Chains A and B, each alone.
Chain A
Amino acid sequence: MKLIEVTDLKKYFPVRKGIFSKSDKYVHAVDGINFSVEEGKILGLAGESGCGKTTVSKLLVRLLEPTNGKILLEGEDIAHKKGKKLKEFRKKMQMIFQDPYGSLNPRFTVMDTVAEPLIIQGIGTPEEREDAVAKALDIVGLKSPEEFLFRYPHELSGGQRQRVAIARALVIEPKFVAADEPVSMLDVSIRLGVMNLMLELRDRLNLTIVFVTHDLACARYMSDEIAIMYLGEIVEIAPTEELINNPKHPYTKALLSSVPIPDPSEKRKRIEVKGRVSTPIDPPHGCRFAPRCPHVTAKCKKKDPHNVRVSDKHLVACHSFKS
């Protein structure tokens, strides 16, 4: 079953000129993306900084309201829901943030932080909530929760904080979790522990996760499917191993070829790409990657590429690919 399905999702931000003057220019942070995630699966959303991947994750949990498009959660469109109706849906979705130092209120104890979603949603009595918090802490591997309940964030290590953040996300038993670079600020040995925890929780609780990352190796480790974003668009989406071993889009190929490999005896072939990522302020027609693409043709600069089906679940948005 498709738990979350996104169609033609767009988010434009106005470019601010001054206090009084309204701008007519827009940053096309997310510009018409489509994807869906099956229940219990993990979609990796990968790309370089500024590609819009974080905006997508914020749209999915409705921290932002999309400019256009649909977000179906269990078949119901939440793209423009407001107030009480939206609050009802918030029980089903949660978010895990990048910065474990910023995502916990420094004045809240672990208990306050983890119990907050329950309090906001008015679930349970104080005693029931305390039990739920203890259970959530236990699930995320903070054994003997009573030791942690009344600590403040500054008394925890980075790994412990991220576990508390995950416990908070899970305490209301959501169906869907958007994780925005949840391990990129953690140290190596702790990073793996948190990733393994998320995989284990997915299996145990049948969670559906959108895992946003800039690290393709982490995306591969975590995801069932990977979508590659470039300047607000998804250029390629495929099952993980298919995308890693058989990339079709020139950008995906270049991106994969630039990932360093932890083995000095292996030499990788680098694909050099010219120029740098521009800003998506009112971008012209045509493929966004055209100015940097090694295989660019005249058509690429005029016409937006459509998704071409490589195989059943492998889509690529590139003119040079013919199925």
Chain B
Amino acid sequence: MLKIDFWNIVFTVINLLVLYLAMKKFLIGPITGIMEKRKELIESQLAHAAETEQAALQLKSDYEKDLGNAKEESVRIVDKARSDAKAEYDRIVKDADAKASDIIAKANKTVEMQKQKTLQEMENEITGLALAAAAKIMNDKQDNDTALYNKFLAKAGDANDTAGN
């Protein structure tokens, strides 16, 4: 019990060292190793999750940006369509104005022509009337004077021209 024996101290030291190595190799090493590995696994999974979240957020912001761009684009398209329509409208109205004034001008011309034609007809009729009147006068006076007739005709025509104009 109280007997100190050098060799047995040496044996115990050797025993302890052997036990230390054996425990380290067979018990503590494998278990701490596996705990360490699990910790690493969990950490890597967490890191992966964080990465994925980052990517998702990136995608989301991209989509939001795209959406904003699309809105701007649509506004731009509508504006362009509106301005195009306005230009087209203006062009059509201008065309219509031009056509209308064309038509009016033509109508005026037609009216003028009609008037000329009517005047011509009236002149012819007056000539007929004058002839008839002259014939009646010749019958009355037996005076078949062509010179007198022409003189009258010239006079009557001049008088008629003056009245017409």
A, B: real partners: no
Chain B residues with a Cβ under 8 A of chain A: none
Chain A residues with a Cβ under 8 A of chain B: none
